[in-house]
Structure formats: structure tokens, C-alpha cells
Chain A
Amino acid sequence: MGRNKIFRVGAICIGVVIVVVLVFFARIREKEPIVIGAILSISGPTGPTIEGEGVRDGMLLAVEEINTFGGINGSKIELVIEDAKINAEIGKEIFQNMEAGRKPLLYVSTHSSVSSALAPLVEENNVVLFVALATDPGVTKEKEWVFRYWPTAEVEMPALMTLLKATGVRNLGVIYLDDEFGRSISSGLAREVGKIGGTVRGEPFSIRETDFKDEIAELSSYEGILGVGFPQHVKAIFKQLRDEDYKGNVFSTIAAADVSFHTLPEANGVYITAPIIYNPTFLFAQGLKEKYEARFDKPLTYFAANGYDLIKMLAALLEDEEFSRENVKKLLEAGFTHPGVLGTVDVGEGEHDMAFPIHPAQIIDGTVRYQY
């Protein structure tokens, strides 16, 4: 064997050894990713939405955690996020583009308006739409492929009733966003309060409304006023109630449980329904809080926790399972228990609405205190 040949063979051997060692240790096992199409409303007519951003960030954190430890069945999750801007038409266009392009395994959407618009499309395309931040009961009603992970008006009701009972409020004014959720809350409370001999009067407003003085003036004589709407609406209602020097008890739904309310002066003393996440004794969310704050440099919101739980729930359901649209639907319909950071969620077989527990609470001096 010539010397040159020896050198060549030596060089090739060295190269082969290095490649083998690298491959051996790196254990490269790349599989096709699981694509989740996230049609989130990160912004809206009045700018960025804290709830949309929260859901997005929570989903991102969950995906990062899952992917860090190998993904699901060896496949990484790929989150394709698009901003629907709380606009049904934009949402539909995004859906059509995604279907024509990446064709995700399933979709996640936020907000009732967009999700309601997407529902017929997913039904038509036989793909699961997992909805968050959507309170409209109609989103899942009579839908095969639409699932919700968000409390509806029905879930809000017991906690609200507990608060009304605890405060002794028997006649209640409701200033509500004129959507399905607002109407459901108003009518539901009217029904439940009526059972205990009280009265409820509702004053609806449109999504672009910012001035609630008229509604407040109409309801100023009520023992309590409940504000129902998106956070920005509720904040404005609280502010204007204080400005009008309203003396009664102020209530709101889970929309006011966000951390952005906790330190608002006008929110101090307000009764709300809240997820357990702000309870310092609820230790299960502590780890997520720390990770979230370290990752995004902002406080953990229950929107983010909802997004986080949603992905974790899906990931757990898909373990050892076939990645097909039909199977995702089947798994979600099979019923399960999810011990999430927003509390344990029990989902019965065939149920399409799943909600984390919400509790009666009060904002006092910048903190949420749970009331029973």
C-alpha cells in the first residue's frame, strides 16, 4: 500500500469515526413536527389584547417545555401563530391559508367572534378547533369539531351567586357587552337572583363603547353593579363608577381577574370571579409563575395559564396516539381529567366545553382574596 493511500485511508477513517461518534452521541431523531395552527387575536380594534398575548405566551412556553424533552412521541410541536385581530374575516382567511399550506393537525383560536366564524370551516374540513377566551355558548353548540377550554357564563354563575349572597345584594344592575356571554350572564343572573327574591337589570353596550355614564346613571340606585365585557370595558366601568361616586358593591366576571386589575385603585374592593391561580397557597402554579416571569419578564396571567394548560392537555392526550385529525377529536371526546395550573379539569365523555374552576373573590389592596 502506497503511503499516499495510507494517508487517504487514515483521513477517511478519522472522518468516519468523528461522524459516528457525533451521530452516536447526538442521537439525532428528527420526526415530522406536529403543527398546531394558532389563530389568536393578539391585537384588536383598540390595540394589543392582553388576553390574546397571554394565551400566545402560555402556549409558547408549554411548547418549549415539551420540545425540550423530546416533544410528543418523538415529534416536536410547531406552533404556527397568526393574529386574527378579533376579526372574523381575517380569522377565516388565516384558516384558509393554513389549510392550503401547513395543514395543521388542529387549530387553536381565541375570542368568540373569530372562533364562531371558524367553527363552520373546521366542521367542513373535519379538523379540531380548540377554543380559548371564547365565552359565547354558541361556539361549541351542536359542533362536532369545536372544543372549548374556557369558562362559560354557566360556570361563572355559581361563583357570582356566592358573591351576591355573601354581600347580601338582592337587586343588581348589569352593564354588559352585548354579546352572547354578556347576555347569558345577565339573563342567568336574572334567573338565579330571582330565585332568591332579587332583581336584575341589564344595560348592554357595544364593543367599541368607552363611555358608560348613562348606564351607570340608570343603575346607580342598585345595591350592586356588575360589569361584563372585555378587560378594557370593565376597567372603564370601574373607573367611571368611582368617578360617579357609586356607593354600592361592584362586581365583575373573570375578565377582571387579570393581574392588570389588581393594583387599579378603582378596582380595589371589587368582587370578581377568579381562577385559583392567584391564590398563593395554590402551589401548583408557582413553578409556572417563576418560569413564565423569567421567560417573558412579566407577571403570569390566567390567560397565559390557560394557553399553557391547553397545550399541556393536548400533549398528554396525544401521547402514544396516532397524529390524525380524527384521532384528536376522538381523544378530546373520550373524556379525561386534567390537573392543570388553573385547577383540575374534569371532562366528561362527549363534552365539548371544558372549563377550569373559577372561584368567588375580591380584590383587596392589590391582591385577590378568595371568598366562600
Chain B
Amino acid sequence: MGLSIGAKLILTFFFVLFVTVALELYLLFTTQSALRQAVGQDSVFLAGDTIERIDKDIFLKIEGIQLYSQDVSLKSALEESNRSFDAMENADTYILARDAEWTSAPKDAVTPFMGELIEGSLSDTLRQEFIGFWDRKYGYQIYGEAFVTNKYGANIAQTGKTSDYRQADEEWWQEAKEKGFYVSGFEYDESARVWSMPISVRVDDARGNFLGVIKTVPLAREVVREVEPAAKKYETTEILLVTPDGKLIYSTKTFRAFEDVSSKEFFGNIKPGSGFFIAEGWGGKEKLFAYAQSSGFRNFEGLKWILLVGHDTAEVFSPMRQLQNTLAITSSILFFILGLLVFLLARAISSPIRKLTEAANYIARGNLEVRIDINTKDEIGELASTFNEMASKLRRSYQNLEGKVRARTKELERRIRELDKVAKALVRRDLELSQVRRKQEDQLLELDKAAKALVRRDLELLKLNDELQEIDRAKSHFVSIAAHQLRTPLSIMKWTFRMLLSGDFGKLNDEQKDVIQRGYDVNEGTIGLISDLLDVARIESGRFAYEFSDVSIEEIIKYAVEMNMPRAKERKIDMRAIKGSGDKVLFVRGDKTALRIALQNLVSNAINYTLPGGEVEVIYKKNGAFMEVRVKDTGVGVQRNQMGRLFTKFFRGDNVMRMQTSGTGLGLFIAKSIISAHNGEMGAESEEGKGSTFWFRIPIK
């Protein structure tokens, strides 16, 4: 895997950091070089200008003394002194004696001879011209002292006590006498107790004859200090005046006169002419030194001093330091902020990507619940949102799939369980079957035995049946014969009773009539029984002769109703026939007599088993291809448990039996047999105590 985005961003940051720091360092380096060059050149100019001013100042003082050397009173005083010394027999001896006297006096003592010189009028003039003048001019001393010697080198006037009286042996005196003026350089004047830079000027008369020497002792440091303020360019500016051999003769800081600085680093950098350099000064401080050498002014050739102007680089380059510090601080802050931003940006980029990656890994491992918590409004936020949406969809899709799989699995498991059950059941069943088979085999064996027994029994039964049928036929035949044989006498009896009742054999009293009537009724019942028995016998023997013709059902109904009307009225039963609306006169193919019998039985039963005040309706109507006839009564009805035996022979309901009505129990059997012979069907609906409906339907012609 290559570098991550975060790592790339951080590397970029470091690259930018490196480039910026390099540019800053380059900028600082070039700026510091330019500043160093500018300050250096400026300081060189300053050093040159300062040493020139010193030279000029010294020259002006020489010039001032030279001017004073032309003073008439001075010359006059010198001429007078020279004349008096000329007049001496041995002036040198006199001078030596006076000098010995002078130098042998206590250091601070002023001898009368000295006092005379100091308090002389020329001395007053010297004080006024030099010391006083400069004091007035500057407000502080420039000259430590001044004195005048005659041509013999003896003091003739002085502003203070000098160290000795005889000056002719002094270098300055001789040099001044020879060359016109002499600047002795930087020295400690014992008599004036100051560091000075004595200037000596020869005094001549109008003809150029040597008269003497005037010497002034300017305070050397003050001469230099006059130019110092202009040279103090910086707080740390230090001005050093050194001799060519490295003796320090002045410094703007505390110093030791004539300290040897030739071994110092800065001195070693001084080259002929002028220039500048950076070297260590005192206190380990780095300084920028510029230097220039004294070259004199006009006819003053200078003292070959080297003037150094030094500034602490800490101050000179403080703008650079400030720039450095500002750059360092601002850069650091910027880099810190930038680094932080880069870091945060890297994290801001990498973290979501890492989250995305982790989330993708989670998803890859099947955890579809994972969501990325990134709510930024940027592309990453959008990506995260899309990712979450994708994950959601995946999760839903997976859930659906999982649901289906779960359902299928469940179904499969259920089926497996069922199959298992079935298998077990099958096994069980197989076992059972085996047992059953064994049982069946046993049973078969038994059945075989039983079948064989049954066969034997069937054979016996068939034989018995044949015997029974034979008996039945014999019975039927007997009944038929008996009934037939009984009919005739019964018919005779009937007609006899009727004739008796009708008075054909004489008028009968009421008792007779009653008895005859009861006989008649019993006879009628017996005739009916015989008739029924004959019918049943014919039906069972198949000898019931049906003669089929087109029969008007309406007529059949009408016959039955009319035949039973008297009985109905007698029992105070409202009976009526009801025809289906719209039906024309309907015809069926049947045996008119048989149908009359069948219907007669139904209507008769209805009247018999309906209590007085009840109703009997005979309803007939076309029902599809059938003619349907319903005989409905409000009679006693049939007990539910006896409905199955309704059409069997000799059946009479228990409730009917309790009514003590007459009946053979054959009427319904006969009726049903007749209807069946007409390819019809018959049934009954009854509720005990509420009535019954007996119906039959037979095909319409």
C-alpha cells in the first residue's frame, strides 16, 4: 500500500515548511548582508569623518597658538626675557640651578620663584587666552595649562606649576624650535595631572628670529570628546582611538590609558586605510567595527592614530533580530496553525476514509448494521451519507433475503419435520401395516375360514331364503287366496248391511241400526284390510297390473279429495286441493287406479291422523319435468325416530296407535310401491305434534 492521504499531506506540509524556512533564511541572510554593508560603509564614513575632525581640531588649536604666537606682548615679553638671559654670563648654568631648585621642591609646593611666574602678567594673559577662553566658550576646560619658554628653554610664564623649569632638553621644545610646531601626542601630564596632547609652537620675531616656544596642554580626551557626540550613532557605539602599535589612548567607555589591545581580535582586522569588519569586542560582545586612520589636516600631518567606531551587532542588527524574531514567531505560529490544520485536515480526510474503509470491511464481513457518523457538508459527508444509504439498502435487501431464506428454511424445516413425521408415521405405519398385514394375514386366514363358513352359511341361507321365499310366496298366495275368498262373503255382507240399513228389509229401530251400522263399519274395515292385503300381495308378487295411460293428475287429485271430503267434514277438517299457479291441466303417464290408490292412502292418512279443526291441503304443481303432489296436514305428525320405518309394511306410529284409529299400516307401503312403479319418488317431512307432509313426484308425460 502506498502513502496515505494524511501522510502525503504531512509530507507536503514539511516540504512547504522546508521551502519557507529556506526562503526566510535566504531573505534574512541577504537582508543582513545588505544591512551589514550599509551600516559598515556608514560607519567607515563616520570613522573617517571623526578622525578628520580630530585632526582638524588639533590643527585649529595649533593655528590658534600660532596666531597667539604673533601677539606683540608675547613677543615683547620673550624679547625682554631673552635679552636678560643674553646678558647673563652663563645662562645655562642659571637655568640648571633654577631647574634643580624647581624640581627639588615638594610636589605640590609653589616656590616664590614659581609663584612669580604663575602670577605674572603674561601668565594671566595665557590663562585668559587659552584656559579662560575655552572655558568661556565651552563651559568646561579644554586646556590644562599653558606656558612660555624663552629661546633658552626657560619658563617665563605659566598658568600653573610645571614639572620643571628647564625645557630645552625636552623633545617637544626642540621639535617646535626646529619645525615650528610640535604635537607630542597622548600623554599624562604630571604637572597638570591630566591626560593631554601638548602642542608646542615656535615664536619668532618679525625677522624670523627664534624667540621661544609656547606650549599648551589641551586635554586630549576633551579634544576627542568634542567629536564624540556626533559619532554616537547607536546606544552601544564605542569610539576607540589607538596608536598604530595597538595602544589604547582613548575610549568612550571606561578604559586604561595605553592598554595594549594589539592582541585583541578587532585590532588584528585593521588594515591600512579604512574599512569595517565584525569582531569580538570587550565582554564577548560581537561588534561591527569601522576604522579610519589619521592623515592630518593642512600642514598638520596627523598623529597616525587609528579611530575605530564600534557598534554592538545586537543593536545594529536589532531590526534584523526583530525581523528574525518576528519571522520566527509568526512563522512558528503560522507553521503551528498550518501544521495543525494539515494535521486536522489529514485527520478530517483520513478519519472518514478510515471509517469508510472500516465500515466497508464490516459490511464485507457481513455486519450491515454499521453506520458512519460523518455529518460534514462536504463531499466526504456526501460520500458517507451515500455509503450509509447504500448500507441501509443492503441491510434491507439482506433482511428481505434473510426473511425469505428464514421463511424458506422454516418451511423446509417444517417440511423436513413433516417428512420426518411422515417417515416416522410411515415407519410406524409400516410397522402397523406389517402388524396389520400379519393380522390381516391372520384375519385372512380367519376370513378365509369365515368366508368358507359364510359360503357355507350363504349356501345355507340361500337355501333358507329359497325356502322362505317359497314360504312367502305360499303365504302371499295363501293371503291372496284367502283375501279373494273372503271378499266375496264380505261383499255380500256389505250389501246386506247396506240393504238393512237402507230399510230394504224393514225399518229398523235405532238400536238395530246402530248394531247394523257397527257391523257395516267393521265389515268395511275388513274389506279395506283385505283389499290392502291383496294389493300388497300383488305388489310383492309382481302381479300388480299397471295399465299406463295419460292420466290427468288434476282428476286424480279431485277424485281423492271428493272421495275423502265426507270423511273430512265428518272430522271437521278443512281439506282443499291447491293447484300450482299457471299450471295447465297436467298429465302424467301412469296407472290411473294405482295413482288413485296411492293418493287415496295419503289423503286418507292425513284425515285420519289430523285432529278435528285441522287442515289438510293437497297441493300439486309442476316441478321441472315432474309433477309434484304434496299432502300436507296439521295432524299429530310422526316421531323423528320412527321416520325411517314410515314406508315399511304394517308400520303405525306410537302416537297414531294412541289415537285408537283404525288402519292396517300398509297404505304408505302400497303408495310408495305404486309411485316407485311410476319411476317416481316419495318422501315425508314431519314434526311430531305439528303435522306432516307426504309428497311424491312422478315424471310428466
A residues contacting B by CB (< 8 A) are: 3, 6-7, 10-11, 13-14, 17-18, 21-22, 24-26, 65, 68-70, 72-74, 276, 279-284, 286-287, 312-313, 316-320, 334-339, 343-344, 346, 357, 359, 370, 372
Q: Is the CB of A372 within 8 A of B135?
A: yes
Residue on B with the closest CB to A279?
A: B139
- Name the A residues within 8 Å of B221 (CB-CB): 337, 339, 344
Q: Is B140 an interface residue (CB 8 A)?
A: yes
Q: Is the CB of A316 within 8 A of B314?
A: no
Q: Is B324 an interface residue (CB 8 A)?
A: yes
- Name the A residues within 8 Å of B325 (CB-CB): 25-26
Known: A336-B254, A372-B135. A65 touches B235 (CB 8 A): yes
In the bound complex, how far is the Cα of B326 from the Cα of A21, in angstroms? 12
Q: In the complex, what's the smallest C-beta–C-beta distance from A340 to chain B, in angstroms?
A: 8
Q: Is B477 an interface residue (CB 8 A)?
A: no
Our pick among A6, A22, A286 for the contact of B332 (Cβ within 8 Å) is A22
In the bound complex, how far is the Cα of B282 from the Cα of A198, in angstroms? 52
Q: Is the CB of B194 within 8 A of A346?
A: yes
Q: Is B564 an interface residue (CB 8 A)?
A: no
**Stretch of B4-12, B99-107, B584-592 lying at the A interface:** B4-12
Q: Is the CB of A312 within 8 A of B254?
A: yes
Q: In the complex, what's the smallest C-beta–C-beta distance from A8 to chain B, in angstroms?
A: 10
Known: A65-B235, A316-B253, A370-B135. A10 touches B17 (CB 8 A): no
**Stretch of B82-90, B198-206, B335-343, B600-608 lying at the A interface:** B335-343
In the bound complex, how far is the Cα of B346 from the Cα of A106, in angstroms? 59
In the bound complex, how far is the Cα of B323 from the Cα of A369, in angstroms? 47
Q: Is the CB of A276 within 8 A of B139?
A: yes
Q: Is B236 an interface residue (CB 8 A)?
A: yes
Our pick among B131, B250, B257, B336 for the contact of A14 (Cβ within 8 Å) is B336
Which 6 pairs from chain A and chain B are nearest by CB? Answer: A25-B328, A319-B283, A316-B254, A279-B139, A372-B135, A14-B339
Our pick among B21, B225, B236 for the contact of A21 (Cβ within 8 Å) is B21
Our pick among B4, B229, B315, B339 for the contact of A69 (Cβ within 8 Å) is B315
Q: In the complex, what's the smallest C-beta–C-beta distance from A105 to chain B, in angstroms?
A: 15
Q: In the complex, what's the smallest C-beta–C-beta distance from A291 to chain B, in angstroms?
A: 9
In the bound complex, how far is the Cα of B195 from the Cα of A338, in angstroms? 12
In the bound complex, how far is the Cα of B7 from the Cα of A370, in angstroms? 79
In the bound complex, how far is the Cα of B327 from the Cα of A10, in angstroms? 23
Q: Is B424 an interface residue (CB 8 A)?
A: no
Q: Is B132 an interface residue (CB 8 A)?
A: yes
- Name the A residues within 8 Å of B56 (CB-CB): none
* A to B CB contacts below 8 Å, 20 in the list: A3-B4, A3-B6, A6-B4, A7-B10, A10-B339, A14-B13, A22-B332, A25-B324, A25-B325, A25-B329, A65-B235, A69-B236, A70-B285, A73-B283, A73-B284, A74-B284, A283-B228, A283-B229, A346-B194, A359-B140
Q: Is the CB of B194 within 8 A of A7?
A: no
Our pick among B135, B195, B229, B283 for the contact of A284 (Cβ within 8 Å) is B229
Q: Is B463 an interface residue (CB 8 A)?
A: no
Residue on A with the closest CB to B350?
A: A3
Q: Is B354 an interface residue (CB 8 A)?
A: yes
Known: A316-B253, A344-B225. A69 touches B314 (CB 8 A): yes
Residue on A with the closest CB to B256?
A: A336
Kindly supply a per-residue 1/0 record for chain B positions 207-229, scoring 1 wherever the CB is within 8 Å of any chain A CB and 0 otherwise: 00000000000010110010011
In the bound complex, how far is the Cα of B193 from the Cα of A84, in angstroms? 37
Q: In the complex, what's the smallest C-beta–C-beta distance from B353 to chain A, in angstroms?
A: 9
Q: Is the CB of A320 within 8 A of B282?
A: yes
Q: Is the CB of B328 within 8 A of A22?
A: yes
Residue on A with the closest CB to B286?
A: A70
Known: A17-B17, A69-B236, A344-B225. A10 touches B332 (CB 8 A): no
Interface residues of B in 328-370 (CB under 8 A from A): 328-329, 331-332, 335-336, 339-340, 343, 346-347, 350, 354
In the bound complex, how far is the Cα of B229 from the Cα of A357, in angstroms? 19
- Name the A residues within 8 Å of B138 (CB-CB): 279, 281-282
In the bound complex, how far is the Cα of B315 from the Cα of A282, in angstroms? 25
Q: In the complex, what's the smallest C-beta–C-beta distance from B10 to chain A, in angstroms?
A: 4
Q: Is B136 an interface residue (CB 8 A)?
A: yes
Our pick among B195, B222, B232, B257 for the contact of A287 (Cβ within 8 Å) is B232
In the bound complex, how far is the Cα of B335 from the Cα of A13, in angstroms? 12
Our pick among A26, A280, A334, A338 for the contact of B328 (Cβ within 8 Å) is A26
Q: Is the CB of A70 within 8 A of B314?
A: yes
In the bound complex, how far is the Cα of B324 from the Cα of A114, in angstroms? 48
Residue on B with the closest CB to A338?
A: B254
Q: In the complex, what's the smallest C-beta–C-beta distance from B33 to chain A, in angstroms?
A: 18
- Name the A residues within 8 Å of B385 (CB-CB): none
Q: Is B496 an interface residue (CB 8 A)?
A: no
Residue on A with the closest CB to B315?
A: A69
Interface residues of B in 157-211 (CB under 8 A from A): 193-195
- Name the A residues within 8 Å of B283 (CB-CB): 70, 72-73, 318-320
In the bound complex, how far is the Cα of B329 from the Cα of A334, in angstroms? 46
In the bound complex, how far is the Cα of B21 from the Cα of A83, in angstroms? 51
In the bound complex, how far is the Cα of B330 from the Cα of A25, in angstroms? 12
Q: Is the CB of A279 within 8 A of B254?
A: no
Residue on B with the closest CB to A278?
A: B139
Our pick among B7, B195, B236, B343 for the contact of A11 (Cβ within 8 Å) is B343
- Name the B residues within 8 Å of A312 (CB-CB): 253-254
Q: Is the CB of B312 within 8 A of A70?
A: yes
- Name the A residues within 8 Å of B32 (CB-CB): none
In the bound complex, how far is the Cα of B251 from the Cα of A313, in angstroms? 12
Residue on B with the closest CB to A72?
A: B283
Kindly supply a per-residue 1/0 record for chain B positions 12-31, scoring 1 wherever the CB is within 8 Å of any chain A CB and 0 otherwise: 01100100010000000000
Q: Is B295 an interface residue (CB 8 A)?
A: no
In the bound complex, how far is the Cα of B139 from the Cα of A343, in angstroms? 12
Our pick among B6, B195, B252 for the contact of A7 (Cβ within 8 Å) is B6
Residue on B with the closest CB to A19?
A: B332
Q: Is the CB of A337 within 8 A of B140?
A: no
Task: Supply 8 further A-B pairs (C-beta < 8 A) apart from A319-B283, A336-B256.
Answer: A7-B347, A11-B339, A14-B335, A69-B235, A70-B312, A284-B228, A313-B254, A359-B140
Q: Is the CB of B254 within 8 A of A317?
A: yes
Interface residues of B in 53-112 (CB under 8 A from A): none
Q: In the complex, what's the smallest C-beta–C-beta distance from A286 to chain B, in angstroms?
A: 7
Our pick among A3, A316, A335 for the contact of B7 (Cβ within 8 Å) is A3
- Name the A residues within 8 Å of B282 (CB-CB): 316, 319-320
Our pick among A11, A337, A359 for the contact of B254 (Cβ within 8 Å) is A337
- Name the A residues within 8 Å of B650 (CB-CB): none
Q: In the complex, what's the smallest C-beta–C-beta distance from B326 to chain A, in angstroms?
A: 9
Q: Is B255 an interface residue (CB 8 A)?
A: yes
Known: A18-B332, A70-B314, A344-B222. A6 touches B140 (CB 8 A): no
- Name the A residues within 8 Å of B257 (CB-CB): 337
Q: Is the CB of A6 within 8 A of B7?
A: yes
Q: Is the CB of A335 within 8 A of B335?
A: no
In the bound complex, how far is the Cα of B219 from the Cα of A357, in angstroms? 13
Q: In the complex, what's the smallest C-beta–C-beta distance from A344 to chain B, in angstroms?
A: 5
- Name the B residues within 8 Å of A339 (CB-CB): 221, 225, 228, 250-254
In the bound complex, how far is the Cα of B285 from the Cα of A72, in angstroms? 9
In the bound complex, how far is the Cα of B219 from the Cα of A198, in angstroms? 33
In the bound complex, how far is the Cα of B141 from the Cα of A276, in angstroms? 10
Q: Is the CB of A282 within 8 A of B253?
A: no
Residue on A with the closest CB to B255?
A: A337
Interface residues of B in 276-332 (CB under 8 A from A): 282-285, 312, 314-315, 324-325, 327-329, 331-332
Residue on B with the closest CB to A360?
A: B135
Residue on B with the closest CB to A65?
A: B235
- Name the A residues within 8 Å of B285 (CB-CB): 69-70, 319
In the bound complex, how far is the Cα of B25 from the Cα of A21, in angstroms? 11
- Name the B residues within 8 Å of A344 (CB-CB): 219, 221-222, 225
Known: A13-B14, A25-B325. A337 touches B256 (CB 8 A): yes
In the bound complex, how far is the Cα of B140 from the Cα of A3, in angstroms? 80
Q: In the complex, what's the smallest C-beta–C-beta distance from A75 to chain B, in angstroms?
A: 10
- Name the B residues within 8 Å of A26 (CB-CB): 325, 328
- Name the A residues within 8 Å of B17 (CB-CB): 17
Q: In the complex, what's the smallest C-beta–C-beta distance from B77 to chain A, in angstroms?
A: 23
